[in-house]
Structure 1
Amino acid sequence: MTTSPPGPLADLRVVETGSLIAGPFCGQLLADFGAEVIKVEDPARGDPMREWGVHAEGTSLSWPVIARGKKSVTCDLRSAEGQRILRELVAQADVLVENFRPGTLERWGLSPEALHEINPGLVLVRVTGYGQDGPYAGRAGFGSIGEAMGGLRHVTGEPDRPPSRTGISLGDSLAGTFSALGAMMALHARQRTGRGQVVDTAIYEAVLAFMESLLPEWQLAGHRRERTGAILPGIAPSNAYPTADGAEVIIGANRDTVFTRLCAAMDRPELAAEDELGTHAARGERQRELDELISAWTRTMPTDELLDRLHEAGVPAGRVYTAADMAADPHFAARKAIVRLMHPELGDFPMQNVVPRLSDTPGEVRGLGPELGEHNDEVYGALLGADAGQLARWREAKVI
């Protein structure tokens, strides 16, 4: 762990009982800004993210990222003693994050009402596929299903193929982001009321929140958004265009003023003055023809030369980055968008840095994901007053 100045959430204690991505991503965001995040894991195997994803030398490369800056304790929450331990942790926490199926905490005697009797100021963040109520609440829910139900999958991919997906767990991460935002709003309200509350995040609703004007388009205009591949219908030019050296460059020049600059860069200023292309609506109607015209031009230049010309003209453009491109890019380096920590087995370990930046109280990645139960003695000793004998008894009983 580093010894840098505390982040803006350094006065907060978060107990995280979730697993996989949606709940733990909420915890990651809070830890990034200095909250003490105590991750409670099953003693037998821990969070499945310790084993998921790509591995290097037998080590998951996902775990060090999503568990960064957290403390790991083990606790069998299915046991009565484990539930008692969680109650003691909650009594000294500001936030509890969980993503069990609805009703699980209630079966363990840990309902919101019971938890608020222990700690009236507790903010309980509950992340599920469908939310805490409604006819689907009891169903098993994954991020992929939330993406489908929230509308994202239907509009992702090529129009002549089945729905596709992005290469990341977007639904889970959106739910985690909204959960962190909800926790902050609930804590802000607590400053006035002195009371905590429940933050109920449904993955499908987190996805739905990003679906722009999809619903009024359907109800009021009879328009159903469909899969359109690399374009948005009527938004032109905005696409991936080929270059002379086999790459592709994204160009976004659908605004009138930007299209005028693109035409100048193409040495075709007259295009911006033509009735057929001079307005946003006209370009949308001739989208395919316009893309073919621009592609014929971009194919004549190597990628770097094309980008230099577009940037000089003030046209938004960029290559489609891979991880290798990010690692080599001077802008990433100048803004420290990639942070590097030392992993005990793997050495230099790069990952995305904290977002957003705060000028006075910035966040920081304070450590990689911990070993299972690494902080048992520290947390249980400091917060619960457990001595060596008590810790030994819990271990023998497999409670921790």
Structure 2
Amino acid sequence: MNIFVINSGSSSLKYQLFRLPAEQPLCSGLVERIGLAEPRITHKVFAGGEEQVIRQSPTQLPDHRAGLQAVLQLLTDATLGVIANPADIEVVGHRVVHGGETFAATTVINPAVKAEIKRLFSLAPLHNPANYLGIEVAEQVFPQAKQVAVFDTAFHQTLPEQAYRYALPEALYRQHGIRVYGFHGTSHKYVAAQAAAYLGNPDARLVTIHLGNGCSMAAVRGGRSLDTTMGFGPLAGLVMGTRSGDLDPSILFHLIEHLGYSPPEASNLLNKQSGMLGLTGYSDMRDIGRALDEGDERARLAYELYAYRIKKYIGAYAAVLGGLDALVFTAGVGENDPLTRRLACQGVEFLGVRLDEEQNQLRNGQLREINAADAAVKVLVVPTNEELEIAQQCYQLLADSY
């Protein structure tokens, strides 16, 4: 089954094409700066164990439809193409960030599903409109394909009520849906399944730690999410690249009432000017790591604060799970930053966590253990693959009908 996975952003389009059940993509790519000056396309084709990269700089890509049409030309290219025509795409899988309480599973898209995604725009104003646009464009470019939505929030729909409810008047939940939804669910689901399979324990008690520009953690047992750090929106929990993570809500009132911030300005501050950027002037951990090597005290504090928040949630989630079988680090920082992993694991040795520092320093792009050989708790680095997870969920949903 040819499954084309799309992650549509406001000015970008990320994609991979899989021929399931094979897990290796036929091609992948990224269209950037759609509707802006100097758009770029990076397209990779995987054939015979080799990777060929095509880079294009179109004079203009006025909208997402133009971007997807440019991708289609690459997919069907006479020399490097991987399909003959658009009809070869049987399924288009879409990442949709917010599914509210409506969508707890992968769903075939129809007019009612689209209407519900649209209704949820206010809960994910930066993401759901772009995801919706990707659906509409794909329906035009691949009209014969089944369109399928995979929701980032769906994995966390298994949270118990005491974990997803806030201590607010009940009407705010019943009438307005104010509750914990959680995000990065596709990544947490994928790495939790990989870790449980590696451990040979389907009931494994796992803390999955997704550290990229956005960061979140989840308490997972038996493949079910029991708690997660992000909440009603993606601002809560860990310190992130530009987001503050957890803070005292009274800070917001102080900003607005005493420092003259408008609500939009306060939102911009907490979402786009805080986190590691606010602490150091950099949002990328590689830049912060270089600053740390140069003796920058702000970088030192930022690393310690970042890891301290992770450590607090490790302890909290070990309590939620009633014990711990493995910590699972994933995503760009989680997979590639040994210092973050070391700092996050220091001080939780009482839980059975002990790193092998030599293993922690290695990078091989594969699932691997970085714990000491005799440690009671495994510490795993598991590369995430959200696009493959989306493709596999589409395949599982539709395989019986093909």
Q: Which has the larger radius of gyration?
A: 1
* Bigger share in strand: 2
Per chain length, whose mean CA-contact separation is higher, i.e. which structure has more relative contact order (CA < 8 Å, sep 6+)? 1
Smaller-chain TM-score bracket: under 0.3
**TM-score, structure 1 length as denominator?**
0.26
**TM-score, structure 2 length as denominator?**
0.26
